[in-house]
Amino acid sequence: MLQGALQSGAAHRKSVFEAFARRLPDGRRYGIVAGTGRLLEGIANFRFGEPELDYLRRTKVVNDQTLEYLAGYSFSGDIWGYPEGEAYFPNSPVLIVESTFAEACILETYLLSVLNHDCAIASAASRMITAAGNRPCIEMGSRRTHEEAAAAAARAAVIAGFDSTSNLEAGLRYGLKTVGTAAHSFTLLHDTEREAFEAQISAFGPETSLLVDTYDVEKAVRTAVDLAGDKLGAVRLDSGDLVAQAQWVRQLLDELGNDHTKIVVTSDLDEFAIAALQSAPVDSYGVGTSLVTGSGAPTASMVYKLVSRTDDAGDFISVAKAAKNKASKGGRKYALRRLNERGTATQEIVGVGHHPEDDGNDRPLLQQFVKNGELLPGWTGPEGVQRARRRHAETMRELPAVVNRLQRGEAAIPTIYEED
């Protein structure tokens, strides 16, 4: 595309691209924006190095004119969008890139990869957090997704309210709180369960969490209390009927005088399993597979469309594909969340051109992230994650109560196109 556009000269036309999802995953009420901070860091460093240029030259994928353009590439335009942690709905303009066509077009695949992955994880995580109520959720899914996706998933989960992650690399990169656990192999490695527990307590103190379902759960709980005493931090259950098991393990711990010892449950939990455990005496949830695969919706279906570009006179023209089942709205958008007098969101307002006059109940959604190629402060790094986490919590308080329902249904608020 770049080579064709350089050939015609249209590559240098000013363009507006928009990333949005035409629909939410089947039955979901809302989505959560994530990935933008990671994306902005990536765009700031987006260059074609010698290995890439050499490959493109050697394989004749592009011509010399295009190679020269790529060798000098760095993004010099503007980027606006919904802040991370914000809710989105069908056709919300989640990210807007304003630059030459060439500059914006080069970013397409990378930009969509980041948003599609991270929004999918954050959207699933947010529902789990709602189902978990006040009980902390721990991200433990690294092994069930691509090794780099794992770190991004941990970041997205924490934005959507997860307490911590077992991914140490994500802890290093994004300043996330990390927690660890022992697997069954640790118990099996030792000659007896007692020796395994002794080793763990000796290394981490009695406040550690002991995995009690390798052999016999009751025997393991008794051994754990025998060794760690009433300081025992937690026991972890990773198999069986978690509701019933949590009940009698809680009772047993209390009988043994360990009413401060917590119960952590894991084992293919998703938002529905978490909801089913609401009345069980469980203290925290470790969530793996379902979280990192978006709980049935592993990609957010975001697309990146040219919505406006200049003509030969330099004037902007709205453009959109006409084909029937994939029609898009052309034009540079504004986006507002309309609130009622109680501060509850009622509509997502999207329009082309200038904001209507604010009547006090419309919250503007688009923020500027990049200006003339310069990253604006506060959106990236550990600071960006914490800010996004706060944004998520605030947004969730503003959305109507229907977002707490796990049943399938329509988007929680409708997206309304306002004419300019």
* Binding residues for a copy of itself restricted to 68-107, rule: CB under 8 A: 101, 105
Instruction: Write down the H helix ranges in 87-166.
Output: 101-106, 108-132, 147-159
Binding flag, residue 114, a copy of itself (CB under 8 A): yes
Q: How many residues bind a copy of itself (CB under 8 A)?
A: 92
- In whole angstroms, give the CA distance from residue 65 to residue 55: 15
* Choices 88-96, 128-136, 316-324, 408-416 (CB under 8 A): range interacting with a copy of itself: 316-324
Binding flag, residue 44, a copy of itself (CB under 8 A): no
- In whole angstroms, give the CA distance from residue 334 to residue 93: 8
C-beta closer to a copy of itself: residue 320 or 406: 320
Of all helices (H) and strands (E), which one includes residue 375? strand 374-375
Would you say 224 and 236 are in contact if contact means Cβ atoms under 8 Å apart?
no
C-beta closer to a copy of itself: residue 179 or 339: 179
Q: Site for a copy of itself (CB under 8 A): which residue of 148, 226, 254, 255?
A: 148
- In whole angstroms, give the CA distance from residue 364 to residue 248: 51
Q: Site for a copy of itself (CB under 8 A): which residue of 57, 146, 231, 405?
A: 146
Q: Provide the minimum distance between the beta carbon of 196 and a copy of itself in the complex, in angstroms, as a whole number.
A: 8
* Choices 7-15, 252-260, 337-345, 401-409 (CB under 8 A): range interacting with a copy of itself: 7-15
Q: Which amino acid is at 104?
A: A
Would you say 227 and 194 are in contact if contact means Cβ atoms under 8 Å apart?
yes
Binding flag, residue 236, a copy of itself (CB under 8 A): no
Q: Site for a copy of itself (CB under 8 A): which residue of 96, 97, 217, 350?
A: 217
Q: Which residue has the tokens 């006179």?
A: 313
C-beta closer to a copy of itself: residue 145 or 395: 145
- In whole angstroms, give the CA distance from residue 57 to residue 222: 67
**Which candidate, 24, 25, 35, places its Cα nearest to that of 118?**
35
* Choices 73-81, 180-188, 346-354, 383-391 (CB under 8 A): range interacting with a copy of itself: 180-188
C-beta closer to a copy of itself: residue 63 or 76: 63
C-beta closer to a copy of itself: residue 315 or 357: 315
* Choices 59-67, 226-234, 341-349, 363-371 (CB under 8 A): range interacting with a copy of itself: 59-67
Q: Site for a copy of itself (CB under 8 A): which residue of 44, 46, 178, 347?
A: 178
Binding flag, residue 219, a copy of itself (CB under 8 A): no
Q: Site for a copy of itself (CB under 8 A): which residue of 74, 76, 192, 202?
A: 202
Q: Tell me whether residue 84 is exposed, middle or buried, using C-beta atoms within 10 angstroms of its C-beta: 0 to 12, 13 to 18, 19 or more.
A: buried
Which residues face 210 on adjacent strands? 235
* Choices 189-197, 247-255, 342-350, 410-418 (CB under 8 A): range interacting with a copy of itself: 189-197
Q: Provide the minimum distance between the beta carbon of 379 and a copy of itself in the complex, in angstroms, as a whole number.
A: 18
Q: Tell me whether residue 120 is exposed, middle or buried, using C-beta atoms within 10 angstroms of its C-beta: 0 to 12, 13 to 18, 19 or more.
A: buried
Q: Provide the minimum distance between the beta carbon of 48 and a copy of itself in the complex, in angstroms, as a whole number.
A: 10
The sign of the dihedral angle between the CA atoms of 185, 298, 18, 52 is: positive
Binding flag, residue 191, a copy of itself (CB under 8 A): yes
Q: How many CB atoms lie within 10 A of CB 260?
A: 12
Binding flag, residue 7, a copy of itself (CB under 8 A): yes
Q: Provide the minimum distance between the beta carbon of 359 and a copy of itself in the complex, in angstroms, as a whole number.
A: 34
Q: In the range 295-314, which residues lie near a copy of itself by CB under 8 A?
A: 298-299, 301, 304-306, 309, 311-312
**Which candidate, 254, 276, 273, 272, places its Cα nearest to that of 263?**
254
* Choices 6-14, 226-234, 333-341, 375-383 (CB under 8 A): range interacting with a copy of itself: 6-14
C-beta closer to a copy of itself: residue 131 or 182: 182
Would you say 141 and 121 are in contact if contact means Cβ atoms under 8 Å apart?
no
Binding flag, residue 255, a copy of itself (CB under 8 A): no
Give every CB contact of residue 21 below 8 A, 6+ residues apart in sequence: 31, 88, 90, 91, 92, 94, 119, 300, 301, 302, 303
